[in-house]
Amino acid sequence: MADIKSLIIITTLIFLLAPASIIVYILVYNNRKKKHLEEKAQMKIAFDAEILKTQCEVQEQTMQTIGADLHDNIGQLLSLTSLTLSSVELINPGKAQQKIDTALDLTLQSIKEMRLLGKLLQGDQLMMLGLPEAIRHQINWLEKSGMYQITYLCNGDIPASGDHNKNLVLFRILQETLNNVIKHARATQINISLAYLDGQLRLQINDNGIGFIAGSLPAEQAGMGLQNINKRAAIVGGEAKITSQPGEGTQIIIFIPYP
């Protein structure tokens, strides 16, 4: 009789505990699902904010490039044009014609440079041409300084559809890296390669500058440079590998799933 009572009690407890366990499981599952959705929403907000920040920085860098080129290149061309025309002496038709022809050549060169600036102002259109072309355009401006020997290789059939956000982030990483080279590396040679293989895009930038030891960098240089590169690569699902030694230059490789 006691065994029957015990069996009834155990059976009753099982029937009572089973629904309670299910209810607890459902509550835990819903809480986890809610937390996951909240984390996903926060990640989306952080991603959108970083993309917006990147767009603003690309635009700012573009305006700095335009300002420098207006001053250093087009300004000089127009000054030379004005100087040439002001020195024309009509009493000597032969020399006058030579100077007029020179002024025309300088004017045409100025127009060409202004058209290139126009394309640079149209940043969205430049990125729509694709990442390889945007990088090539950036390199063209840097080469004008005459301070660097630059090589650029693009390998693999990069998907034409691509991913605008990833292109933008990679392009900004390139700009930031080149700025660091200009400001700190004292380099004379820069090698850039862009490669696509097995659904992954790899951007590699090497310089022959003075190099550094990562732990010895000033806080402002490490924070604004290396940390930004790592952060931006991570936000689009990629990673950055930065290697450098004093006197041996610096290598930065970005791997990003693509598209």
**What's the domain range around 249?**
147-259
Residue 98 lies in a domain: no
Residue 68 lies in a domain: no
Residue 91: C-alpha distances to residues 80, 94, 251 (Å) = 22, 9, 61
What pLDDT shows up at residue 40? 67
Helix ranges (DSSP H) in 129-181:
131-143, 164-180
Parts of the chain with a pLDDT under 70? 1-3, 5, 7, 13-18, 20, 36, 40, 43, 47, 52, 55, 58-59, 61-73, 116-126, 214-225
What CATH code is carried by the domain that includes residue 161?
A: 3.30.565.10
To the nearest 10 degrees (0 to 180), the angle between helices 164-180 and 228-235 is: 170
Residue 160 lies in a domain: yes
Residue 235 lies in a domain: yes
Residue 107 lies in a domain: no
Q: Is the dihedral of CA 61, 62, 66, 69 positive or negative?
A: positive
Tell me how crowded residue 248 is: count the other CB atoms within 10 A of its CB.
Answer: 12
Q: Structure tokens of 198?
A: 């097995």
Distant-in-sequence contacts of 66-71, Cβ < 8 A, 24+ apart = 66/117, 66/120, 66/121, 69/113, 69/117, 69/141, 69/144, 70/117
Residue 225 lies in a domain: yes
Residue 78 lies in a domain: no
What pLDDT, in 10s, does the model give residues 157-211?
A: 888 777 888 888 898 899 889 888 888 889 999 999 999 988 899 999 999 999 8
Distance CA 121, CA 117 (A): 6
Q: Is the dihedral of CA 69, 71, 73, 78 positive or negative?
A: positive
Strand partners, 241: 253
What pLDDT shows up at residue 232? 86
Burial class (CB in 10 A: 0-12, 13-18, 19+), 125: exposed
Q: How many domains does the chain have?
A: 1
Residue 118 lies in a domain: no
Contact between 110 and 77 under an 8 Å Cβ cutoff? The reply is yes
What pLDDT shows up at residue 158? 84
